[in-house]
Amino acid sequence: MSIMLLPFTMVGQRCNDKLTGKVLDFHNKTPLVGATLVISDLNKSAFTDLNGQYVFEGICSGEYEIEVMHPDCRTLIFPVTISGETEKDFFLEHHLEELDEVQVVGGAVIKKTNSGIEERLDNETLIRYSGGSLGDALNEISGVSSLNTGATIVKPVIHGLNGSRVLVLNDGVRMQDMEWGDEHAPNVDINSASAISVVKGAAALQYGGDAVGGVILMEQEIMPVKDTLYGKTILNGMTNGRGGSISSELSKVFENQWFAKVQGSYKRLGDQESP
């Protein structure tokens, strides 16, 4: 009787891979200190140091989901494929509790020597005047009136000055068509801007040496940093003139931070009547 012994080898997965990288602010790329990274499938966690760096060691190769957290940031989950020594950086938006600018104005605080005052049209006012013109909406701001030629040609007047003495900047681009004459109103669609503000006084001169009356600033909305599609449509009807207008816009934001926006308005009116 004979017994033959055959050698055999058991091969298992070696979990000695390594994952390193940084957690950075999405906007200015500064390191985020004290961020927490969690791989739930492995029950492993890590923290970033003063340079925003983190390290995971003793990890098996494969695909995982890493949850990245930081105070004042929105928690995000990222897919990661680990093989050998893998390096991966994560970016978080660090403004969850960021407040918009607040201006407090009071007679006892603001002195008469202050040279610059900025006033802003709120979103409700922009929607209410979506069927009108820029000059009509600006009448809501104190110190701003209008020079009307007919029913639809409205030129803004700031402290009695108009034309070339009042600048209109549409997303940083100077609009000069209303400087030609009294019958040339600003050639801009009020629905194309998400915010409109008026700067009066000496502070307006930073936008141009001829802005003696003031500056009208039209700004576009800030696109969200995520892959999304959204839009809006505004309809207006008018009994005087038996007409109306429609304004629509559609925005698409891609993952690579590029975006596309289409906006258009159509307005039709008949003869208007006065009592």
Check whether residue 152 and residue 203 sit in a common domain.
Answer: yes
Q: How far apart are CA 96 and CA 72, in angstroms?
A: 5
CATH number of the domain residue 187 falls in: 2.170.130.10
Q: What residues make up the domain containing 255? A: 228-268
Strands (DSSP E) found in 93-242: 116-121, 144-149, 153-158, 166-170, 173-175, 195-201, 214-219, 228-238
Check whether residue 194 and residue 146 sit in a common domain.
Answer: yes
Residue 69 covered by a domain? yes
Identify the domain boundary among 196, 219, 242: 219
Residue 207 covered by a domain? yes
Tens of pLDDT, residue by residue over 166-204, are 888 888 888 877 666 777 788 888 888 888 889 888 888
Check whether residue 156 and residue 204 sit in a common domain.
Answer: yes
Tokens of 93: 């938006």
Beta-carbon count within 10 A of 12 CB: 5
Check whether residue 253 and residue 174 sit in a common domain.
Answer: no
Residue 145 covered by a domain? yes
Pick left, alpha or beta for residue 52 (phi over 0 → left; psi -120 to 50 → alpha; otherwise beta): left
CATH number of the domain residue 62 falls in: 2.60.40.1120
Check whether residue 207 and residue 233 sit in a common domain.
Answer: no
Identify the domain boundary among 34, 59, 92: 92
pLDDT for residue 9: 45
Identify the domain boundary among 77, 92, 107: 92
Low-confidence ranges of the chain (pLDDT < 70): 1-14, 95-100, 104-116, 178-180, 275
Q: How far apart are CA 188 and CA 136, in angstroms?
A: 13
Tokens of 187: 């050639």
Strands (DSSP E) found in 40-142: 44-47, 53-59, 62-69, 76-82, 85-87, 90-92, 116-121
Residue 202 covered by a domain? yes
Q: How far apart are CA 185 and CA 135, in angstroms?
A: 8
> In 3D, which of 99, 78, 98, 95 has the Cα closest to residue 32?
95
Residues 6+ apart with CB under 8 A from 242: 269, 270
Check whether residue 201 and residue 259 sit in a common domain.
Answer: no
Check whether residue 135 and residue 182 sit in a common domain.
Answer: yes
pLDDT for residue 134: 87
Q: How far apart are CA 28 and CA 219, in angstroms?
A: 22
Average pLDDT in the chain: 82
Check whether residue 49 and residue 133 sit in a common domain.
Answer: no
Residue 155 covered by a domain? yes
Residue 242 covered by a domain? yes
> CA angle, 60 as apex, 56 and 63 as ends, to 5°?
90
Q: Say if CB 69 and CB 36 are below 8 A apart.
A: yes
Check whether residue 136 and residue 207 sit in a common domain.
Answer: yes
Cα atoms in the Cβ-side hemisphere of radius 13 Å centred on 99: 3
Check whether residue 159 and residue 249 sit in a common domain.
Answer: no
Chain centroid to CA 166: how far?
A: 26
- Give the DSSP H/E element, type plus range, for residue 38: strand 36-39
- Locate tokens 């258009």: which residue? 264
Total tally of structural domains belonging to the chain: 3
Tokens of 156: 């803004």
Q: How far apart are CA 76 and CA 62, in angstroms?
A: 20
Residue 9 covered by a domain? no
- Locate tokens 């034309």: which residue? 163
pLDDT for residue 159: 85
Residue 198 covered by a domain? yes
Check whether residue 214 and residue 127 sit in a common domain.
Answer: yes
In this structure, which amino acid lies at residue 265? S
pLDDT for residue 80: 92
Q: How far apart are CA 98 and CA 262, in angstroms?
A: 29
Check whether residue 212 and residue 120 sit in a common domain.
Answer: yes
